[in-house]
Amino acid sequence: MPTLLDLPDLAMRHLMKKLNFDSICTLRKVNHGLRTFIDEEKRDFKFDKLHLLLENEMAVLTLSAGWESLVITYFKGDKKTCLVSKGGRDRPARTSYLKACCIDLEMLLKNQKSIFKSVTVLFRCTVFEDRIETKRGEKLLEKITKQFLTDIANVLQSRDVPIKTQHLDMHVMNHDQLMAVLPYLCPETLTNLNLKRSQQRSQDLELDEVLKTKQFKRLTAFKVSGFRTTVSVDNFSNLVFSDISLETVKVDDLLFLKEMANLLDLPDLAMSNVLGYLDLNAILTLRKVNRALREFVDEEKPDFKIMGLFISLKPDNVHLELYIDEKNPILVEYCREGDTTSVFCRQRKTVNLDVMKTCANDLEIILKNQKSISKEIGVFFDFPESQTRLDNDEYEAQLRQRTEPFLTDFEKILGSRDHKIQTRFLRMNVIDQFQVMAVLPYLYPETLRVMHLNASNHVPDQTLEMNEIVKSEQWKRIQRFMSHGFFISESLNHFAHLSKLYISIKTVTTDELLMVKEASV
């Protein structure tokens, strides 16, 4: 009885053209002769869509050409076996489900010359109610797909020409999964790249290697969902459209965006979102670009959520230390240089204002909209340790002359706010009560719990007058107080409400001793 292989090659070719790709895939597996004939024909199936889904125990390969679709599902079996389901028919295979998927994919893509409209690759882990179980599943999927990705890269790399597609959509778990596919696509046809996080937990996506590829440099649109990126914004200058999440935006990034487009042309909602990604230094820089941006920033009233603020004042310089988080403080140094001030914060700039006035202006912007509760505020009037008592008298007069205008401005800043500054801890190095009262009345009594007042000069036997301090509502609400370098002259009755006290006093009356005894019982 004659077989198909007995037909002339021309007749066989005409017959093959009548078959769809599902039939050809089935025919190819009949025997070695038919498989060889089909492979030598190098038929282009003209697929326009490729969709690949990988899960912990299953893979689904979908290829479309117009209205026709081929769907093959691979189920994990026992040991090194799997079940392949296609067109309602199941067949066992003596290989892993990922290997079986890779073999079929190689055959189907081997002679693809047409341009795909889209290629989609999804890595998806089953979500369990138990978060620990979900994370275990994610790690397992990441492990078992490692070899599969190597096989896929080999399949794509073995082709004479790169796969041509216009769009690449990938749900990935890491950078390696993207790089197993992207470098083997045709740069001339790829225009859109969409990435989405397939894991439950949030994480950063490394893009350093991706940015170096020819494929990325030819893109017109790039979108990332669920990942944060840490690269500079100027890496996306070739794109017409981009949608990415940045952990922080640097000043250089803002200047680059300013050159690319006018930020004020963006809708207000978009501008508000941009401000949400900027750190304190970036917003202060943006505010100084022009009047319109300054007005927009001021109207938005961004809360910088300052956790700690420390101001150290000397006659000729001011040191400002801001903590937005506990690890990376923002340091600003203001130094007097004749009639101007040099400001150092990552880079140096010169301001035509007095050093104290320059610092006060920045503090006004920083504290204007602070609503969050800070852990600590510190204001320090510092003296060099080497100063003698005689020197201190002269130095103290000079310090008063230089810092009193600053304190007046600082008092106005705090007093102009709609709400008092909320902090739990006030720490000050002062000369006298005047400096304390420039700050204390403008702190929110309900949150202030601890206050430390230390002497900023090293003069023995000096006394700190506290008659105005003890009248304040803030004083009545604090729970702990400590003073170092001063003798306190106020009656101990003013300290009876405190749970912890550390002070130096010269004399104690009998009534005060009885009060302390009753309070400690």
| Tokens (6 digits) for 317 | 């310089």
| Tokens (6 digits) for 398 | 């000079």
pLDDT of residue 22: 66
Q: Sign of dihedral through CA atoms 45, 51, 53, 54? A: positive
CA distance 285 to 283: 5
Provide the 3-class DSSP secondary structure of residue 44.
coil
Structure letter (DSSP) for residue 126:
P
Pairing relationship of beta strands 82-86 and 68-76 according to DSSP bridges? antiparallel
pLDDT of residue 386: 42
**Looking at the predicted structure, is the pLDDT value of residue 331 above 60?**
yes
Contact 281, 291 (CB under 8 A): no
Q: Which of 144, 159, 66, 178 is nearest to 109 (CA)?
A: 159
User: Is 0.75 surpassed by the pTM of this model?
Assistant: no
Provide the 3-class DSSP secondary structure of residue 288.
coil
**Looking at the predicted structure, is the pLDDT value of residue 282 above 80?**
no
**Looking at the predicted structure, is the pLDDT value of residue 84 above 60?**
yes
pLDDT of residue 259: 59
Higher pLDDT residue, 17 or 258? 17
Give percent of the chain with pLDDT exceeding 90. 10
* Whole-number Cα distances in Å, 229 to 204, 249, 330, 376: 6, 10, 22, 32
Provide the 3-class DSSP secondary structure of residue 31.
coil
Tokens 């979108």 belong to: 223
**Looking at the predicted structure, is the pLDDT value of residue 6 above 70?**
no
pLDDT of residue 143: 74
Averaged over 225-234, what is the pLDDT? 77
Mean pLDDT of the chain: 79
Q: State how far Cα 282 lies from the chain centre.
A: 14
**Looking at the predicted structure, is the pLDDT value of residue 409 above 70?**
yes
Averaged over 260-284, what is the pLDDT? 67
pLDDT in tens, 437-494: 888 999 999 999 999 998 877 677 788 889 999 999 999 999 999 998 888 888 888 8
Higher pLDDT residue, 117 or 368? 117
Averaged over 151-165, what is the pLDDT? 84
Most confident of 123-137, 145-159, 423-437: 423-437
pLDDT of residue 449: 94
**Looking at the predicted structure, is the pLDDT value of residue 520 above 70?**
no
**Looking at the predicted structure, is the pLDDT value of residue 172 above 50?**
yes
Domain ranges of the chain: 1-40, 44-247, 248-302, 306-520
**Looking at the predicted structure, is the pLDDT value of residue 319 above 50?**
yes
* Whole-number Cα distances in Å, 8 to 12, 13, 41, 340, 511: 6, 9, 14, 95, 123
Give percent of the chain with pLDDT exceeding 70. 80
Pairing relationship of beta strands 89-93 and 116-123 according to DSSP bridges? unpaired
**Looking at the predicted structure, is the pLDDT value of residue 156 above 90?**
no
Higher pLDDT residue, 449 or 139? 449
Averaged over 234-261, what is the pLDDT? 69
**Looking at the predicted structure, is the pLDDT value of residue 387 above 60?**
no
Structure letter (DSSP) for residue 426:
E
